[in-house]
Amino acid sequence: MTGLPPGPRGLLGPLARFARDPVGAHQAFRERYGDPFTLRLPGMRMVVTGDAATIRRVLSLPAEAFTVLDIGSEVMGEYALIRLDGPAHAAARRQAAPLVMNPLRGDNGRVIQDIARRTFAEAARRPVRMIDLAKALTLEVILRSVLGPIDREALHRFAGAYAALQSRASFLLHFVPALQWDLGPWSPWGRIRRARAAVDRIIADAIARAAASGEEPLGPIAREAAVAGDPALGTEALRHQMFTLLSAGHASTAQALAWTAWQVFSDRAVLARLRGEVDGTNEPGRLVRLDYLDAICREVLRLHPIGPVIGRKLALPLEISGWTLAPGTVVGLSVGLAHTDPQAFPDAGRFQPERFLSGDRTPQDRAIPFGGGVRHCLGANLGLAEMKLALAELVRDWDVQLGDATRPAHRLIDAVAGPAGGVPLQLEPRQQGGAGQ
Ligand code: HEM
């Protein structure tokens, strides 16, 4: 068959529904229209599938099968690796490789633990939202990884400029090119561009300071990029790469951590088993290899997909379930549908870390929280390490009272999916053997 599979009518309605419920919307569309179904988005047609075999096939296609999916590009910068294709994309990924290969190198693991410890201690004994703690924590971690040691004043400046950028960059503005008109400083897109420029100046300052001091190094990623990078790419490209890593690595890990806190502290049996495993272990290299801690993080990412859809724009025709899709079509791999496939994940609605401990490789092979193939998440190892080290600090030292015992709904927030309401809670010093055990 040629043309496009059926799907919901209208442009903004389905997109708004997806933003309100990024997991449930795909389930509802599939029930109504079958798999695959087409979403008609402003400026693009996305053919969405949750079929395991198709997902595996699409993710294993070579780079030449796709062209870049130019989303959020204005904000990221023209040399950002998510905007690059082919050899330039592969080269940009290689530059960031040190972080991918070993997020704990040097004293990075201890640094993450220290940041987590301080963040939790400063928030103790008052009502807070886990998402706010997690964002502060992941912002500091990613800034240190990318920019190097950073003083608190610069951190606050960056956090302020970055928060302004995010609060203005609503989902629709980011993802709908047709809305991206800069009509001056008061227009929505004009404000985003100016907020982006403010963030950019802070990154440029850090690069300039590092260059001028000759000694003060940039963080591991930027340093490596500066040394190994293509000299034709220069400072501007470095700035765009750094901004991409900051953006991609900050909100995603924060939402994952917020979910993790809710899942662990809403279930006494899970909490007790996890404490049994992490108590007495403080060495980052050992913590990240603990089985149950690992299974908890993987199950959180399965049940609560942070990036709910993985997009690939076709450069060549592709056949999917009898439909021949033309070049230019965007294939959407639905993470929510993949992660609720009953064949791979029986009783998929339940939080069950044990499914990753059974020795059966199916859950591991079928879960795609970090995408896959040529564009798989560059920071997967760092994201997982942050989740594990921060969670270990949290359960070891704190009892947590959740503000709401009902599992939060999924919402699209800052262009990723997270728990609606941000998980309100209060931290109290842990009573050994007490109520939180
Ligand atoms: C738990 C945390 C995280 C989750 C769930 C997550 C998820 C994802 C997903 C689903 C993608 C799309 C992959 C694809 O298209 O196949 C992605 C891409 C990406 N992520 Fe992450 N991510 C996380 C943390 C991070 C961190 C910490 C960093 C940075 C250090 C990072 C950097 C990136 C980059 C640069 C890309 C684009 C890769 C490319 O286009 O080549 N992510 N991530």
User: Mean pLDDT for each 10-residue chunk of the chain (437 residues)?
Assistant: 91 86 95 96 89 97 90 69 84 71 84 96 98 94 77 78 67 62 72 78 74 55 50 63 81 96 98 97 96 98 96 96 96 98 96 95 95 93 96 98 96 88 97 53
Q: DSSP character for 353? A: G
- Helix (H) / strand (E) element for 246: namely helix 234-265
DSSP states of 279-333: TT---HHHHTT-HHHHHHHHHHHHHS-SS-EEEEEESS-EEETTEEEPTTPEEEE
Using N-to-C axis directions, what is the helix angle for 130-147 and 108-122, rounded to 10°? 150
Q: What pLDDT score was predicted for residue 86?
A: 85
> Whole domain around residue 336: which residue ranges?
12-422
Indicate whether 429 belongs to any domain: no
- Helix (H) / strand (E) element for 129: namely strand 128-129
Indicate whether 305 belongs to any domain: yes
Contact 423, 309 (CB under 8 A): no
Indicate whether 2 belongs to any domain: no
Q: What pLDDT score was predicted for residue 393?
A: 98
Q: What are phi and psi of 436, to 5 degrees?
A: -80, -5
Q: How far is CA 42 from CA 172, 231, 250, in A?
A: 10, 37, 27
Neighbouring residues of 156: CB distance < 8 A, sequence distance ≥ 6: none
**Does any ligand 1 atom lie closer than 6 A to the CB of residue 307?**
yes
Indicate whether 432 belongs to any domain: no
Q: What pLDDT score was predicted for residue 172?
A: 58
Q: Give the number of domains in the chain.
A: 1
Tell the residue nearest (CA) to atom 18 of ligand 1. 377
First-to-final CA distance of the chain = 58
Indicate whether 343 belongs to any domain: yes
Strand, coil or helix: 128: strand
Contact 415, 175 (CB under 8 A): yes
**Does any ligand 1 atom lie closer than 6 A to the CB of residue 371?**
yes
Separation of alpha carbons 424 and 401, rounded Å: 9
Indicate whether 208 belongs to any domain: yes
CA of 9 from ligand 1 middle (Å) equals 30
Separation of alpha carbons 283 and 274, rounded Å: 16
Q: What pLDDT score was predicted for residue 219?
A: 55
Q: What pLDDT score was predicted for residue 223?
A: 53
Q: What pLDDT score was predicted for residue 85?
A: 85
Indicate whether 427 belongs to any domain: no
CA of 135 from ligand 1 middle (Å) equals 16
Say which CATH number the domain at 280 has. Answer: 1.10.630.10
CA of 429 from ligand 1 middle (Å) equals 34
Q: What pLDDT score was predicted for residue 217?
A: 45
Indicate whether 112 belongs to any domain: yes
Strand order in the sheet with 330-334: 37-41, 44-49, 330-334, 309-314, 66-67
Token pair recorded at residue 276: 């049994």
Q: How far is CA 131 from CA 128, 333, 422, in A?
A: 9, 26, 5
Q: Which atom of ligand 1 is nearest to the CA of 138?
A: 27
Contact 427, 120 (CB under 8 A): yes
pTM, to two decimals: 0.91
Rounded-to-5 percentages of helix, strand, coil across the chain: 55, 10, 35
Contact 205, 197 (CB under 8 A): no
Q: How far is CA 383 from CA 99, 112, 250, 297, in A?
A: 10, 11, 9, 10
